[in-house]
């Protein structure tokens, strides 16, 4: 019998409201990568949730940190926030 890793369900929630989207991912790094792609596609930051708990905010701008590194930091209890947008 083949053992498969558990599939964790993550949600992407938008700042302006609307229906959340469900992600299916084997790990947090993949969920962070999917959330980053979605944030870039819609042009706004999104919030990543898992089992009703907030995990991280994912900015639409490119990040200097890889999604895998961010996932490891969040898993260790270190939260990573994007830089604030400067007024022009």
pLDDT in tens, 46-86: 999 888 888 888 887 766 667 777 777 777 777 665 554 44
Distance separating alpha carbons of residues 52 and 64, to the nearest angstrom = 28
Cut 0.75: pTM above it: no
Alpha-helical segments (H) within the chain: 28-42, 67-75
pLDDT digits (tens, 9 = 90+) for 25-49: 878 888 888 888 888 888 888 999 8
Q: How many other C-beta atoms can be found within 10 angstroms of the C-beta atom of residue 53?
A: 6
Pairwise CA distance, residues 21 & 13, whole Å = 7
Domain ranges for the chain: 8-75
CB atoms within 10 A of CB 66: 13
Residue among 62, 29, 25, 30 nearest 43 (CA): 62
pLDDT at position 5: 59
Give pLDDT, residue 79: 64
């Amino acid at each position: 019998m083949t053992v498969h890793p558990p599939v964790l369900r993550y949600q992407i929630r938008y700042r302006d409201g609307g229906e959340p989207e469900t992600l299916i991912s084997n790990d947090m790094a993949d969920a962070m990568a999917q959330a980053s792609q979605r944030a870039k596609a819609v042009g706004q930051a999104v919030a990543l949730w898992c089992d009703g708990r907030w995990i991280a905010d994912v900015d639409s701008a490119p990040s200097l940190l890889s999604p895998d590194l961010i996932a490891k930091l969040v898993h260790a209890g270190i939260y990573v926030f994007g830089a604030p947008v400067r007024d022009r």
